[in-house]
Structure 1
Amino acid sequence: MDGLKDIVGDVALGEPIKCVDMHTTGEPTRIIYSGYPRLTGTLLQQRAQALKEYDHIRKRLMLEPRGHWDMYGAILRPETELVAAGKADMGVLFTHNDGYSTMCGHATIALGRFLVDANESIFPRGKKLRYDKDISSFHLSLHVPSGPLEVTVPAQPNGKSDPSRPVSFISVPSFATGVSVKVPLSPEYHWPELGNRTFVTADFSYGGAFYCMIDAKELGFPEGLANLDLSKMDHASKQLKAAVNANAELSFCTKHPVTEEMSYLYSIMIVDTSLRAEHGSTKNGMGEPDHAGEETGLCFFANQQIDRSPTGGAVAARVALAYNKGKLSIGQRWTYHSLLSQRTGVGGFTGSVIEALPSSLEQAHVRVRVEGTAHYTGMFTAVVEDRDSLSMTGFALHQLKGCQR
């Protein structure tokens, strides 16, 4: 703020909101650490308050002219019920182009590094983090709306995070809710690539949020994700999501057994199980693949936002689904690529079941370890100049009347 004053002089600027920007496999996380209004109550109550009273700030930080349609954010919440009880070190609310997520893996990976590196004024509990000398890593607990996540952050000898090694987190209990579910598609939900078909077959699973997983060929794209038209994929996934949401008979696919706030379809994950990294797979010390297999996915979430990363919550959901199908055993590692990591060979996430949980429900509940890397991209201070009504809230150009994306 002082730096801007030095440049422009005595200009009437509102209260600044300070952020650090990071990316995880190209997917942004704008971490809001100062200047956001105070929220009260449980973390879910804070989420509801943010939506009701301060959603204009979400739009200001996520949308144009300060952000873009695919921007993602994380609002630090140092006061939550789990932090107060000593069961978490920090809370967070996740934001996107349409509201507030219940879970976000790529942002968790970025936050792990940031919290280890942050000074005491930002993260007072940072000096109390548990250090594991055997693996030269810090352990911290992050309270997200879907529950607590255990995060492990590799450290350098100077105590700062080590960007050369992956951050990992252990998911909330994850489980499949529907395997090979037929989704009826009435004419209003058709897309051209579907042809004369009246339904598609998809899987549903939970990894902190609910995901619908469908093979790209099943969606009507015979070449899978190898050669794709993003606009056509966007339309098909949007129609599929609308069809699922409109069908009350499919509500079991997105029904959380405990918390109603989690009971909605967050994302369509289009999968291509045959697509491997173009630049080769990672190897272990013996020159062998360090995983049992790999696949690629394209994630549309929120209001058709495209994830550049492999999507950490979806990795937990996909691992839980594979375990449910008997395709992945406890301890087996699987690599999940986004389009970006598949094309570049950089940034794939790995997922593995670390524990099967006892459950009285039909679904097998598991905890999943997800690993990935994140990096800093800059710092950002958001201000609003007096009389600047256009950027007070933010906008999306393609949503203006008469405009199409």
Structure 2
Amino acid sequence: MGSDDRILFETDDYHTGGEPFRIVAPGAVALEGHGVADKRVKAMASESVQFARALLCSEPRGHADMYGGFVTEPDDEGADLGVLFWHKDGFSTACGHGTIALGVWAVETGLVPSQPDGIRDVRIDVPSGRVTARVAFDAGAITSVSFVNVPSWVHATGVDVGTDRGAVTCDIAFGGAMYAVVPASAVGLRVHPDDLTDLIRTGRRIRNDLNAAGAAEHPNDPRLSGVYGIIFTEDVDPGDAVAAAPVEGLGSEGALHQRNVTIFSDGEVDRSPCGSGTAARVAQLMSQGRLKEGELLVHDSIVGSRFHARAVSQGVTTTADGHHAVVVEVTGTAHRFGRSHFTVDPRDVLVPGFVLR
């Protein structure tokens, strides 16, 4: 380390189903506001917080699809921690894969006690509400994490939108953020790495057009308005399913099995099956009659990683405009792959970094 370098941030780096989540412990970033939702709004206007986000997301320390979170105190004593989720374009309202990673992190760092067997709940305040990461243990080892999301519901169905591959019809559903769901075949594409460039281009076009039309106004909280991601989906033929280890005790035989990729924010690609997007999908599939309460959705990502999801209750709340909501539980796991010390050389003209795609 050069004599002029100083450590600005220490991080724990995890991935959930291949999607990165970089965790910054409390105290490293000064976050103002009363409650996590208010802190998100103030962070967007804070030069110092935006600098920290950009430094940790951008190259050479990150990349165009980097994701992470600033851990902060919870809104009240009912939760164990709070978090501000961030990516290269700003601060998101929800992040299911990050919630799963935070559940593992909270146990591995001792913030929440470990245990030999059973379930340990980690309650987390996020901008869209309070979620729970249910950490499962067997012989002292973490075997899976299930996150119980904020209520999810279908916002709109049959929304027409144009693309450079023709007009399509989508549904918009909320799972902590607003998602538009489009069958990949409707735009002549597959959920496959070979089609990723076209999926990104088409997803950006759909998101921009829907937001320009004001198609996703949250009925209760304008801070949660706007389409965050486009979920391209396809059913999985049991004969061509990617082999993946089942989650203990979930019994996925005969379950609805789909593959998806979420293009979120300004063209970012979720490597995982997208946790909050999966919750939105369960709400949509239930509204279509393809799932019932308690029935399993096996949800694969574009890289072959897998979540399992089900509605654990329905009719628990009704939004201001009359939509019935369901509470969805999404199960996966996360792994720490590194710990980092990030420094800044005062002579470095590329600070806080750059983004290439």
TM-score (norm 1): 0.81
Structure 1 partner of 2:132: 150
1:299-354 Cα offsets, whole Å, 9 max, x none, are 1011111010000000100001111122111111111111111xxxxx30011000
Alignment map for 1:270-285 (pairs within 5 Å): 270-274=232-236, 278-280=241-243
Listed as ranges, the gaps of 5+ residues in structure 1 are: 342-346, 399-404
Label 1:303 to 1:136 Cα distance change in 2 as closer, same or farther (>3 A).
same
Alignment map for 1:5-404 (pairs within 5 Å): 8=2, 11-33=3-25, 36-41=28-33, 42-53=35-46, 54-78=49-73, 80=74, 82=75, 85-119=76-110, 123=111, 126-127=112-113, 136-158=118-140, 162-163=141-142, 165-183=143-161, 185=162, 190-191=163-164, 193-194=165-166, 199-221=167-189, 224-225=190-191, 228-248=194-214, 251=215, 254-274=216-236, 278-280=241-243, 289-290=252-253, 292-341=255-304, 347-356=305-314, 357-359=316-318, 361-391=321-351, 393-396=352-355, 398=356
Contact 2:151/2:317 (8 A) holds in 1: no
Contact 1:112/1:152 (8 A) holds in 2: yes
What's the offset of the Cα at 1:373?
1.1
Percent identity of equivalent pairs:
30
Contact 1:291/1:335 (8 A) holds in 2: no
Aligned partners of 1:284, 1:52: CA distance in 2, in Å?
41
Label 1:283 to 1:312 Cα distance change in 2 as closer, same or farther (>3 A).
closer
Label 1:236 to 1:284 Cα distance change in 2 as closer, same or farther (>3 A).
closer
| AA in 1 matched with 2:83 | V
Aligned partners of 1:44, 1:287: CA distance in 2, in Å?
33
1:254-297 Cα offsets, whole Å, 9 max, x none, are 12221110001100111112455634465699997446221001
What's the offset of the Cα at 1:180?
2.3
Aligned partners of 2:53, 2:188: CA distance in 1, in Å?
35
| AA in 1 matched with 2:169 | T
Higher strand share: 2
Moved over 6 A (4+): 284-288
Matched residue SS, 1:30: strand
| AA in 1 matched with 2:225 | S
Aligned partners of 1:267, 1:335: CA distance in 2, in Å?
20
**Higher deviation after alignment, 31-40 or 60-69:** 31-40
Matched residue SS, 1:315: helix
Higher helix share: 1
What's the offset of the Cα at 1:389?
3.2
Contact 1:176/1:363 (8 A) holds in 2: yes
Label 1:49 to 1:275 Cα distance change in 2 as closer, same or farther (>3 A).
farther
Aligned partners of 1:288, 1:98: CA distance in 2, in Å?
38
- The structure with more radius of gyration: 1
Contact 1:275/1:296 (8 A) holds in 2: no
Q: What RMSD over aligned residues (CA atoms) do the two structures have, in Å?
A: 2.3
What's the offset of the Cα at 1:220?
3.0
Aligned partners of 2:262, 2:285: CA distance in 1, in Å?
18
**Higher deviation after alignment, 167-176 or 35-44:** 35-44
Aligned partners of 1:286, 1:29: CA distance in 2, in Å?
26
Structure 2 partner of 1:402: none
Count of residue correspondences: 351
Contact 2:146/2:331 (8 A) holds in 1: yes
Contact 2:26/2:72 (8 A) holds in 1: no
Listed as ranges, the gaps of 5+ residues in structure 2 are: none
Matched residue SS, 1:331: coil
Aligned partners of 2:332, 2:89: CA distance in 1, in Å?
25
Contact 1:15/1:35 (8 A) holds in 2: no
What's the offset of the Cα at 1:46?
1.5
1:216-242 Cα offsets, whole Å, 9 max, x none, are 111233xx3357422122111111112
Label 1:328 to 1:75 Cα distance change in 2 as closer, same or farther (>3 A).
same
TM-score (norm 2): 0.91
